[in-house]
């Protein structure tokens, strides 16, 4: 077996030790800790434009009721309201007073009307039920009459009836009968059937405004 010279042997041993030291140094590098995470807070969003004004609530548009005038009849003791745009005629035919809607209130030259008639029962007293029956009998002389309403009307301690009939065109009438003493009152609203719905608020206002005075 051949042995290396002593000097060379020491050199190789030293080299081997040096290489081991270098290898160990590379494997044992110190670990540098990572910085602690910084909590992230969300920043407020930047405005993207001009502020939006609040939206005002939408108001419902309602049809405006006409202005009303007051009619007073001292002879027969009653008052009643009627639209300022309607015409008033006293003592026309069998009516004490007739209120007529303007031409735009009717179609085909047939405007709506509200009439008040007065009957004198002196010497021939009658009851409300007979008063109603007599008036319906007269109206039913028109064979085309169709009764659509028949009930008490508490506001005047009276009776209210409604019917349709043909008179060139289909018409609709509502009447209220009431009695005070020996005087009978008939408050009657008539219009074309196809116009009645649009005038119902006006007719109801006029009916409810009727009051006996004195």
Give me the residue spans of the domains in the chain.
68-212
Which pLDDT value is given to residue 38? Answer: 46
CATH topology of domain 68-212: Protein Transport Mog1p; Chain A (3.40.1000)
> Phi/psi class of residue 168: alpha, beta or left (left: φ > 0; alpha: ψ in -120 to 50)?
left
**pLDDT tens track for 138-168:** 887 777 889 999 999 998 999 999 999 998 8
pLDDT tens profile 25-42: 554 444 444 445 444 444
Q: Pseudo-torsion of CA 8, 9, 13, 15, nearest 10°?
A: 20
Query: Does 211 score more than 80 pLDDT?
Result: yes
Task: Specify the pTM.
Answer: 0.68
């Amino acid at each position: 077996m051949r042995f290396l010279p002593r000097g060379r042997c020491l050199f190789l041993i030293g080299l081997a030790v040096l290489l081991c030291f270098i290898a160990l140094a590379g494997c044992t590098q110190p670990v540098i800790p990572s910085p602690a995470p910084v909590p992230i807070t969300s920043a407020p969003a930047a405005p993207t434009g001009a502020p939006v004004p609040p939206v005002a609530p939408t108001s419902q548009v309602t049809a405006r009721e006409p202005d009303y005038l007051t009619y007073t009849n001292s002879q027969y003791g009653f008052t009643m309201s009627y639209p300022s745009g309607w015409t008033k005629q006293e003592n026309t035919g069998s009516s004490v007073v007739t209120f007529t809607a303007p031409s735009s209130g009717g179609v085909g030259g047939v405007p709506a009307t509200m009439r008040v008639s007065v009957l004198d029962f002196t010497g021939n007293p009658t009851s409300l039920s007979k008063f109603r029956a007599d008036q319906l009998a007269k109206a039913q002389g028109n064979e085309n009459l169709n009764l659509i309403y028949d009930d008490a009307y508490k506001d005047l301690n009276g009776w209210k009836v409604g019917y349709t009939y043909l008179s060139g065109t289909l018409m609709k009438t509502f009447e209220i009968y009431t009695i005070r003493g020996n005087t009978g009152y008939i408050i009657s609203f008539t219009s074309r059937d196809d116009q009645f719905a649009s005038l119902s608020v006006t007719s109801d206002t006029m009916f409810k405004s009727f009051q006996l005075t004195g």
